Copies of this chain bind each other. A is one copy, B any other.
Amino acid sequence: MALLSDLINLNLSDTTEKIIAEYIWIGGSGMDLRSKARTLSGPVSDPHKLPKWNYDGSSTGQAPGEDSEVILYPQAIFKDPFRRGNNILVMCDAYTPAGEPIPTNKRHNAAKIFSHPDVLAEETWYGIEQEYTLLQNTVKWPIGWPLGGYPGPQGPYYCGIGADKAFGRDIVDSHYKACLYAGINISGINGEVMPGQWEFQVGPSVGISAGDELWVARYILERITEIAGVVVSFDPKPIQGDWNGAGAHTNYSTKSMRNDGGYEIIKKAIEKLGLRHKEHIAAYGEGNERRLTGRHETADINTFLWGVANRGASIRVGRDTEKAGKGYFEDRRPASNMDPYVVTSMIAETTILWKP
């Protein structure tokens, strides 16, 4: 109704210095995002100037009831596209009152890897291609798909347009603008091969900020689907059968790879990744075995294969990179439900710090 949106859209800057900060964290499953808001006395742009906070960890599977406080440490600030004005979103990670990261806090370890001098010196860049599926609210079936049935086979939907081919574009487009508004480095969007499935890309981001930006992009996406009345799924294989899965291909480069002679560095890095294939796969998302079958533009989960322009490979190197003799490569193995803190830091660790 007109009047409710008048209230939601009140520009408080006209009446008060106070701002609203939405603190965001990852809950006990490692994929459930949670948030709550607090009032601050004035605008803040430096996360270290934000107060620590706490939440009821016993309600998120992260602490027992008789000792339930989990502490939130603010790590990154973004503009709030929902409340606008000077209001902010704050990405946090979670600690015990004694100052130890709780087990589901994957950011802490990633930050350690990214602050290692050898890793810092290499200025690790990430571009993450987040795929996701939009499901109907009352029944877990993709939007636009007929209930009790299927749409026509894959073919027309990838980057398609039209009411019979593209389902949910309003969500995708509002997400694109909302992320740009928030200050997230969203580099593009496209409709995916399976109808009702979409992709956005975040990057290039340096080090730990890749994880921060992707998590907040996911938060904004789920807040938007909440408004739209649909459900977002990061399941890596939402529909069995001749339907694509959903991944989070992670593009990666270091300073050495981007400089002349980089192609050799890339090949060495890929070799190292091949030697740790099992370890990486174990950390690349639950349920990935349903997706990495060797079909539908994936490599089989037990196979490590790389190639130029090969979408059926574990790792793909673009023709541009091959031609220029330097650039980046794409790890196609991570599932859509991967934790970007884990994946980005593990790629850096294996390629820069690990000795075979």
What residues make up the interface of A, taking CB atoms closer than 8 Å to B? 1-10, 12, 15-16, 18, 20, 27, 32-39, 54-56, 58-61, 65-69, 79, 81-83, 97, 137, 155-156, 158-166, 169-171, 173-178, 180-181, 186-191, 193, 219, 222-232, 297, 307, 309-312, 318-319, 323
Contact = CB atoms under 8 A, between A and B. Distances in A.
Given A97-B309, A231-B164, A159 B8 contact: no
A323 B6 CA distance: 44
A137 B164 contact: yes
Contact of A156 (B32, B58, B177, B227): B32
B137 A178 contact: no
A79 B10 contact: no
A223 B180 contact: no
B232 A162 contact: yes
A231 to B, nearest CB: 5
Given A4-B227, A39-B186, A297 B161 contact: no
Contact of A161 (B54, B161, B219): B219
A171 to B, nearest CB: 8
A312 to B, nearest CB: 5
A16 B18 CA distance: 24
Contacts of A224: 4, 7
Interface of A: prevailing SS: mixed
Given A39-B180, A178-B7, A173 B83 contact: yes
Contacts of A187: 38-39
A66 B307 contact: yes
B8 A5 contact: no
B66 A312 contact: yes
Contacts of A318: 54, 69
10 contacts: A1-B228, A4-B227, A7-B174, A7-B175, A7-B177, A7-B224, A39-B186, A59-B159, A161-B223, A164-B231
Given A65-B312, A162-B231, A177 B226 contact: no
Given A68-B309, A69-B319, 16 more contacts: A3-B82, A4-B174, A7-B175, A15-B79, A15-B180, A35-B159, A37-B189, A39-B180, A54-B319, A59-B159, A68-B310, A83-B173, A83-B177, A97-B319, A137-B163, A162-B232
Contact of A222 (B8, B161, B309, B319): B161
Contacts of A37: 176, 188-190
B161 A10 contact: no
A162 B193 contact: no
A122 B17 CA distance: 29
